[in-house]
Amino acid sequence: DKVEGAGSSEEDQGGSGGETELHEVDPRAEESELKQRLLRKYSGYLGSLKQELSKKKKKGKLPKEARQKLLNWWEVHYKWPYPS
């Protein structure tokens, strides 16, 4: 029984070493990679959504200044409309 206990604690030590390696990965690199994958996957959809929204007749429910600010924001961020 004692040998099994010692063996399992060695396995636990080996497992924790692997976990340490996972934490050494740069989170910004992972974030950037995820962003690029999502951009590749959804860029066509975002572009067509922009076209669709620009063609629709506006109902005019927002004040002009607020609407203009939103349109300006969209022009800058339409390729990646998510907070970073």
Give the model confidence (pLDDT) of 61-74 as tens digits: 888 899 899 889 88
25 within domain boundaries: yes
CA distances from 17 to 10, 13, 27, 28 (A): 11, 6, 19, 22
Separation CA 23–CA 70 (nearest Å): 39
The yes-or-no verdict on residue 9 having pLDDT over 80 is no
3 within domain boundaries: no
53 within domain boundaries: yes
37 within domain boundaries: yes
29 within domain boundaries: yes
**Does this model's pTM top 0.85?**
no
20 within domain boundaries: yes
82 within domain boundaries: no
User: Alpha helix (H) ranges present in 1-84?
Assistant: 2-23, 27-55, 64-77
Range of the domain at 52: 11-77
Query: For the chain, how many structural domains are there in total?
Result: 1
